[in-house]
Every structure is written in structure tokens, then in C-alpha cells.
């Protein structure tokens, strides 16, 4: 049998719109092997012929690598959203060679020497634009941190560490997915569904049908609860059977910590390898290496930031905790303390009592199609961009995936994006994220490549003839990811190395995303988003007022939880190991004792499922969410100052926001971008005000 020709292979030189519908795991390896060989040959040729100029070196080098990295990006995406043994095998087979190739380029002494020469020439007589200068600085730092300065044994060891880390990250992610996939809590007795809201009954029956129980119905069961947020979150909030809540909670906090999916050893190994790598590069810790690429000046500055917020939140959090226990006891709770599996349940009861609405009542107002319309109307109102659905026009990887085009006010096409909205616990990573297949890029022939982004969420499925009814936190998550996508798509930078979200410091990348979440609490926006599934009515003002009043309900506890994640991360990457900590889990316990109002279970194994740190880009960077929120809250405050219901002011501020925060990408330092928008440096006051903590902070 002859080998299938490469020109038919959808991974080989991926076109502007990837042929997702034709991609099969067995095609990935032959295509990427050919692309690896082509890229290696092009790089080698360039090493001989290049000159130390932008057009002679930096630009052709990035173009030489592009077809390979495009295909690798698509393969990694498919592993995340359509996980299967086939995609895993293809990914695992190729990963070592892709890592080797990347290191070979970054470690090339010829390229490095010439990049330095280009920088020095530009210093002597400036010719480069600001964005190009920033790309160059990143290239130089990237080469140093990829070991260009290492020789002999140190280089060999560094490269071995890179390979092992890449493999461990993939293995961590796969084990976590398997652990989630491998767990089911079956509920078969209808009495155990007492208190369940209709959408949870429907989602749990849908999950059961997908797991091979075609007879399952919302009314009669059986019902299947998984560790995926779509069923686990409402189950913990509404399930009256305390023993079942305990079972699910314990499974959730110990996931991927035993048996075939155990990530415990991977966590320790990843941390040890990161420390060793940082040491080889001359950094005192992995955190210092990580911060050298971020806006935060030092570990000490991050520590100060976290502890000042924690100090502001600790007392209010203790009060929240006492009030919750008192409330539960008044309702007949017979114990002396709330167990972890009681927290979400009683907090939801207290919210209902205090603000007289339930989250489930709220979700009837948020059918997914209406939320999308409202979100796109907001984008038009703020930024004068117009988003139209173009489903069916392009190939997708799953029938649920939507496709949209983004146009400027004059009709010019600016970008496109996919949206993969629903949870698929069997094959899709948990959480939500934005990724990019293409970035805005002026090619040598003068043509312009437009951004192509993808938003991935894990929201509640449509069920029994009704559209997906979104929980409010699913709505804010969609806004968040859309904010990332806007920043990627509305860039005006035309050098791919700094356009869109490329080259933005990781602790500033959550500004554009978190900014969008604020609009979920704006009355006009919310009216546009909401449409009761039965009556068609928009969210009534009374319910809106309650939602706003409830916004800061248990805000101190939520803030402390975020800080706990960030502090654990920083302790692990800046200070671990130390004699006082027996293992990485002990670092987490220590941070929990300092920050959380309630102790964790002794068997809690949070780190085994903490993909942000061990299979994502947030190592020694989790603090970036709060760090970015200083800027995102202050940016939103500019709209509040303009008057949220003042159309002209909102438009003008939106235009300025688009022209700065959304346009300048990674080509300008984030604080300069912020200054250009706000006319001043960021202030933490808006964050504290939005969180209701302004009276609690020490100055
Ligand atoms: Zn984000």
C-alpha cells in the first residue's frame, strides 16, 4: 500500500481555516515529521545566509518555524478538546522532536550573536519600531532562558530537563482527565434528588444518557453526577443528602491522587526539575526565572501585594464564616462546625434567604443564544465591532462548535473565532480558555493574515429540547474568555511576535478578560443578555438589584481562596523545599492554615488537580489574576466615571479602551498601555471598592 500523499494531509501546511473535519490522529505524525524536516532545513539555510537585520533574520526565522508550530498548535488543541488514545499517541510521539527543534533554534549561537548585533545596532542608531524592539528583547531573554549560554554537560542536562518537563505536563493533564472521566456518583433513589433544581436534574440525566443509560430522564433518573463543574457545582449547592455531598466532595478534592491517575510524584518531579533548570540558568529559584518575564518586580513585591489583600480580607472572612454557621444552626443544622461539603450548600441557602433569589431561578433568564446576542451587542456598543455567526461555513472538530466573524464598523473583516461551549467530561479538559490559531501578521508579500481565535468553555449542555441555560458564573466565564479573544482579535500590531496576546507579560494578560466580567453587573448589559426561557421577559429590575447586592456576598472568602492558590504557587516555586515542609502538599497545608477561614480536609490533594501550575502557564504566575485585577478594575472604573448609562461617554471611553488595551497587544509595556488609556498609573482603589473591602485595608 502506498503512503497517502502529504498534500491531502490536513496537518501539512495548515491553511487559513484548518480542515478540522478531516483531521485524524494517524495523519498528524507523517505531516509533522515532514514539517519538522522542512523547518530544520530552512533554519540551517538561514544560519548560513542571514544578516543581522529584521528582514534578513528575525522575520524569516519566525516564518521558517510557522508551519510546524501552527500544526503543533492545532494538534495540542485537539488533544485538549477531543482527547482520545489516538491523539495522545500522536502528541506523545511528536513532542520530544518538537521540543528538540525549539531548543535547537533558541540555542543557535549564530542566531543569538546576530540578534544581539541587531539590538546593539538599533541602540547605536534606532531604526526599529517599539513593538519590534520588544520582540527582540523577548528573543534575547528567551534564548538565554532556553540555555544558549550553557555548554557541555550543563547544556545536555538542561535539554534533558526540558524534555522531561514537556512530557510530565502532558502526562499530568491526561491523568487528570482520566481521573475525572473515571468517576461517577450514581443517584438512583428519587428521594436523594430532593432540593435539586430542574436544570441539575436535566443535566444529570443527560450525563447518564451519555454514559450508556439511554432510559435516563430528569424525572425518574438514574442521575449521574461527575466531577465536572456542570453537575458537581450545583450538586454541592443543592443536594440535601449530606452523605452524598460528602462522597462527592471527598472525590473532588482527592482526584488524580491515587491509583493509575496519581499525579503526586509528577508534582514533586516537576517542581524539582524547575528548580534545577532555574539553577542552571543562574536564578535563585524558579519564581525568579518566571518573574523575569513578568511585570511584577520581585517575589517580595508579590508577597507584599498578597499579604496586604489577605490582611484586608481576613476579618471580614471570619465574620462571613460565623454568620454562615449561625444561619445554618437557625435552620436546624445540628453540628458545631460546618464541614467542607456543607459550605456551598449553606452558603446557597443563606444567599437565597438574604437576597431572595436562587442561582437556579436566575439561570432561567440566561439561555445561551440570548447571552451571546447580548455579549455581541455589548461589543458593538463599546468597541464598534460587529460579530456575525457563520456556522456551517467552515470545518469544525465537533458538531457543537460555533463559528463567528468580527467586522469593523465599516464592514472590514478583522478576525474570526470558534466557540466550543459545552462540557464534554469524557474528552475535553475542564475549565475554560482562549487560544489562538493565527495572529494578525503582515506577510512579506504585503498580504495580511487575520487573527483566528478559539474560545473553549465547559458550560451546561442543552437538554431535553431546551437551550443551555447558563449559570451566572458560566456567563461571567464566557465574558472573561471573550475578553481575551477581543484583545487577540482587535490588535493593530502587524508583527506576529507582538500582536494580539503574543508577548504580553503573563501577569498582565488577565486585564482584558477580567475587565469584561464587570459588564455582567451592568444593568443595560444584563437586560440585553437575559430573556426568560418561558416568558421571554428580560431580567426584572428587582432581580437585578438583588444580583448586584449579592455580588460581594462572601467576597472575602472568595478573595482569600484566590490568594491561597497564589501563595501556594509562590511558596512552591520560590521557597520549597525547606525542612518545615515534608512535601509539596505540606506547602499547600501551610498556606491554607495562614489564609483560609476553614481548614482543608487532611486528605485534600489540591495540587494533583492543579493544572494551572503543572500543565499550564501559571507556575509562579497565579498571583497574576489578582495583580491584573488592579488594572482591570481601574479600567472599568473609567467607564463608571463616564457614567455607565451615558451613551456618549461610554462610547468615547470604549473607543479609547479599544485603541489602547485592545489594540497595542504585546508591542508596548502593559503599564504604558494602561497609562495611555487612563492618563495615570493604576490604583488599587477600584479593586477594593468593587470587592467591598475599601474600609479594611491598611494604608
Ligand atoms: Zn483568563
- pLDDT tens by residue, 391-416: 999 999 999 999 999 999 999 999 99
The shares of helix, strand and coil residues in the chain, as percent rounded to the nearest 5, are 60, 5, 30
Mean pLDDT of 361-386: 96
Contact between residue 166 and residue 95 where contact means Cβ atoms under 8 Å apart? yes
- Name the strand (E) or helix (H) holding 459: strand 452-459
Q: How confident is the model at residue 352 (pLDDT cuts 50, 70, 90)?
A: very high
pLDDT digit string, tens, across residues 639-687: 999 999 999 999 999 999 999 999 999 999 999 999 999 999 999 999 9
110-114 long-range contacts (CB < 8 A, ≥24 apart) are 110/47, 110/50, 111/47, 111/50, 111/57, 111/61, 111/143, 112/140, 112/143, 112/148, 114/50, 114/51, 114/52, 114/57
CA distance 145 to 337: 49
Set 481, 494, 505, 629: catalytic member: 481
Q: Is 644 helix (H, G, I), strand (E, B) or coil?
A: coil
CA of 622 relative to ligand 1 center, distance in Å: 11
Quote the cell numbers at residue 519: 459588564
Bridge-based pairing state of the strands 185-187 and 413-422: unpaired
pLDDT at 695 over 70: no
pLDDT digit string, tens, across residues 133-177: 999 999 999 999 999 999 999 999 999 999 999 999 999 999 999
pLDDT digit string, tens, across residues 497-515: 999 999 999 999 999 999 9
What does each C-alpha distance from 60 to 74, 114, 154 come to in angstroms?
22, 13, 30
- Over its C-alpha atoms, the chain yields an Rg (Å, rounded) of 25
pLDDT digit string, tens, across residues 254-285: 999 999 999 999 999 999 999 999 999 999 99
Q: Report percent pLDDT > 70 for the chain.
A: 99
pLDDT score for 386: 98
Quote the cell numbers at residue 59: 522575520
pLDDT digit string, tens, across residues 552-596: 899 999 999 999 999 999 999 999 999 999 999 999 999 999 999
List residues, by chain if needed, whose CB lies under 5 Å from ion ligand 1. Answer: 510, 513
Quote the cell numbers at residue 347: 452558603
Q: Is 469 helix (H, G, I), strand (E, B) or coil?
A: strand
Q: Is 481 a catalytic residue?
A: yes
Q: Report percent pLDDT > 90 for the chain.
A: 91
Mean pLDDT of 329-351: 95
Mean pLDDT of 633-637: 97
Cα 280–Cα 132–Cα 385 angle in degrees, nearest 5: 115
CA of 681 relative to ligand 1 center, distance in Å: 22
CA distance 101 to 78: 21
CA distance 521 to 174: 36
Mean pLDDT of 341-363: 91
pLDDT score for 463: 80
Q: What is the DSSP string of 133-162?
A: HHHHHHHHHHHHHTTTT--HHHHHHHHHHH
Nearest-CA neighbor of 301 among 543, 535, 626, 657? 626
Contact between residue 650 and residue 639 where contact means Cβ atoms under 8 Å apart? yes
Backbone angles phi, psi at 181, to 5 degrees: -65, -35
pLDDT score for 552: 87
pLDDT digit string, tens, across residues 34-68: 999 999 999 999 999 778 999 999 999 999 999 99
Residue in the structure block whose three cell numbers are 523577548: 138
CA of 25 relative to ligand 1 center, distance in Å: 29
CA distance 8 to 22: 10
CA of 606 relative to ligand 1 center, distance in Å: 20
Q: What is the 8-class DSSP label of residue 530? A: -
CA of 49 relative to ligand 1 center, distance in Å: 41
Q: How confident is the model at residue 698 (pLDDT cuts 50, 70, 90)?
A: very low
CA of 138 relative to ligand 1 center, distance in Å: 22
Mean pLDDT of 201-230: 93
CA of 568 relative to ligand 1 center, distance in Å: 19
Burial of 593 from C-beta contacts in 10 A (0-12 / 13-18 / 19+): exposed
Burial of 469 from C-beta contacts in 10 A (0-12 / 13-18 / 19+): buried
What does each C-alpha distance from 68 to 65, 94, 230, 392, 439 come to in angstroms?
6, 11, 36, 27, 15
pLDDT score for 229: 86
- Name beta bridge partners: 185: 225
- Say what the alpha-carbon torsion angle 332, 338, 339, 341 is, to the nearest 10 degrees: 70
User: pTM for this structure?
Assistant: 0.94
Contact between residue 463 and residue 202 where contact means Cβ atoms under 8 Å apart? yes
pLDDT at 2 over 70: no
Backbone angles phi, psi at 244, to 5 degrees: -70, -40
CA distance 658 to 455: 20
Bridge-based pairing state of the strands 413-422 and 402-407: antiparallel
- Name the strand (E) or helix (H) holding 539: none
Quote the cell numbers at residue 83: 482527547
pLDDT score for 360: 80
CA of 556 relative to ligand 1 center, distance in Å: 21
CA of 285 relative to ligand 1 center, distance in Å: 25
Q: What is the 8-class DSSP label of residue 4? A: P
CA of 481 relative to ligand 1 center, distance in Å: 6
Exposure string for 89-108, b = 16+ CB within 10 A, e = fewer: ebbeebbebbbebbbebbbb
CA of 109 relative to ligand 1 center, distance in Å: 36
CA distance 621 to 507: 6
pLDDT score for 49: 79
Q: What is the 8-class DSSP label of residue 572? A: I
pLDDT at 426 over 90: no
Q: How confident is the model at residue 89 (pLDDT cuts 50, 70, 90)?
A: very high
Quote the cell numbers at residue 28: 498528524
Amino acid at each position: 500500500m502506498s503512503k497517502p500523499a502529504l498534500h491531502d494531509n490536513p496537518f501539512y501546511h495548515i491553511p487559513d481555516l484548518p480542515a478540522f473535519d478531516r483531521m485524524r490522529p494517524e495523519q498528524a505524525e507523517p505531516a509533522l515529521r515532514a514539517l519538522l524536516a522542512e523547518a530544520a532545513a530552512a533554519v540551517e539555510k538561514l544560519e548560513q545566509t542571514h544578516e543581522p537585520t529584521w528582514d534578513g533574520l528575525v522575520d524569516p526565522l519566525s516564518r521558517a518555524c510557522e508551519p510546524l508550530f501552527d500544526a503543533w498548535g492545532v494538534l495540542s488543541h485537539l488533544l485538549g478538546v477531543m482527547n482520545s488514545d489516538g491523539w495522545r499517541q500522536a502528541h506523545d510521539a511528536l513532542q520530544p522532536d518538537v521540543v528538540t527543534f525549539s531548543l535547537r533554534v533558541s540555542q543557535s549561537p549564530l542566531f543569538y550573536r546576530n540578534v544581539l548585533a541587531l539590538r546593539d545596532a538599533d541602540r547605536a542608531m534606532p531604526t526599529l519600531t517599539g513593538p519590534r524592539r520588544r520582540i527582540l528583547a523577548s528573543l534575547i531573554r528567551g534564548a538565554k532562558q532556553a540555555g544558549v549560554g550553557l555548554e557541555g554537560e550543563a547544556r545536555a542536562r538542561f535539554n534533558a530537563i526540558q524534555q522531561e518537563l514537556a512530557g510530565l505536563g502532558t502526562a499530568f493533564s491526561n491523568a487528570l482527565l482520566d481521573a475525572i472521566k473515571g468517576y461517577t456518583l450514581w443517584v438512583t433513589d428519587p428521594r436523594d434528588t430532593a432540593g435539586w433544581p430542574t436544570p441539575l436534574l436535566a443535566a444529570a440525566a443527560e450525563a447518564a444518557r451519555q454514559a450508556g443509560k439511554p432510559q435516563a430522564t430528569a424525572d425518574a433518573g438514574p442521575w449521574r453526577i461527575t466531577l465536572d463543574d456542570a453537575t458537581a457545582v450545583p450538586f454541592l449547592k443543592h443536594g440535601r443528602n449530606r452523605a452524598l455531598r460528602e462522597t462527592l466532595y471527598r472525590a473532588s478534592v482527592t482526584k488524580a491522587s491515587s491509583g493509575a491517575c496519581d499525579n503526586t510524584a509528577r508534582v514533586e518531579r516537576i517542581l524539582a526539575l524547575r528548580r534545577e533548570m532555574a539553577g542552571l540558568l543562574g536564578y535563585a529559584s524558579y519564581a525568579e526565572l518566571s518573574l523575569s518575564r513578568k511585570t511584577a518586580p520581585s517575589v517580595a513585591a508579590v508577597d507584599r501585594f498578597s499579604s496586604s489583600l489577605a490582611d484586608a480580607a481576613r476579618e471580614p472572612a471570619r465574620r462571613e464564616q460565623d454568620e454562615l454557621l449561625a444561619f445554618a444552626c437557625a435552620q436546624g443544622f445540628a453540628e458545631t462546625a460546618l464541614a467542607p461539603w456543607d459550605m456551598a450548600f449553606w452558603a446557597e441557602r443563606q444567599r437565597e434567604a438574604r437576597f431572595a433569589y436562587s442561582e437556579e431561578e436566575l439561570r432561567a433568564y440566561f439561555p445561551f443564544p440570548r447571552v451571546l446576542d447580548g455579549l455581541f451587542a455589548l461589543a458593538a456598543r463599546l468597541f464598534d465591532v460587529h460579530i456575525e455567526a457563520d456556522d456551517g461555513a467552515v470545518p469544525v472538530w465537533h458538531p457543537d462548535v460555533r463559528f463567528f466573524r468580527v467586522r469593523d464598523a465599516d464592514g472590514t473583516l478583522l478576525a474570526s473565532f470558534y466557540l466550543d461551549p459545552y462540557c464534554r467530561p469524557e474528552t475535553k479538559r475542564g475549565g475554560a480558555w482562549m487560544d489562538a490559531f493565527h495572529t494578525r501578521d503582515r506577510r512579506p508579500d504585503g498580504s495580511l493574515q487575520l487573527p483566528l481565535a478559539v474560545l473553549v468553555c465547559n458550560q451546561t449542555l442543552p437538554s431535553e429540547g431546551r437551550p443551555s441555560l447558563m449559570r451566572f458564573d458560566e456567563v461571567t466565564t464566557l465574558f472573561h474568555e471573550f475578553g481575551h479573544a477581543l484583545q487577540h482579535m482587535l490588535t493593530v500590531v502587524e508583527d506576529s511576535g507582538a500582536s494580539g496576546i503574543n508577548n504580553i507579560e503573563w501577569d498582565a494578560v488577565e486585564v482584558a478578560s477580567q475587565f469584561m466580567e464587570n459588564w455582567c453587573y451592568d444593568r443595560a448589559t444584563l437586560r440585553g443578555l437575559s430573556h426568560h426561557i418561558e416568558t421571554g421577559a428580560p431580567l426584572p429590575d428587582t432581580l437585578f438589584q438583588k444580583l448586584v447586592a449579592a455580588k460581594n456576598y462572601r467576597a472575602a472568602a472568595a478573595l482569600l481562596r484566590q490568594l491561597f492558590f497564589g501563595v501556594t504557587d509562590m511558596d512552591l516555586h520560590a521557597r520549597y523545599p525547606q525542612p518545615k515542609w515534608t512535601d509539596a502538599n505540606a506547602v499547600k497545608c501551610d498556606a491554607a492554615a495562614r489564609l483560609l477561614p476553614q481548614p482543608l480536609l487532611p486528605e485534600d490533594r489540591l495540587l494533583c488537580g492543579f493544572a494551572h501550575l503543572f500543565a499550564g502557564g501559571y507556575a509562579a504566575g497565579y498571583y497574576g489574576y489578582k495583580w491584573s485585577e488592579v488594572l482591570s478594575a481601574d479600567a472599568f472604573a473609567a467607564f463608571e466615571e463616564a457614567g455607565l448609562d451615558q451613551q456618549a461617554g461610554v462610547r468615547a471611553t470604549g473607543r479609547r479602551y479599544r485603541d489602547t488595551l485592545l489594540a497595542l497587544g504585546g508591542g508596548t509595556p502593559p503599564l504604558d498601555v494602561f497609562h495611555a488609556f487612563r492618563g495615570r498609573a493604576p490604583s488599587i482603589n477600584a479593586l477594593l471598592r468593587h470587592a467591598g473591602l475599601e474600609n479594611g485595608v491598611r494604608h
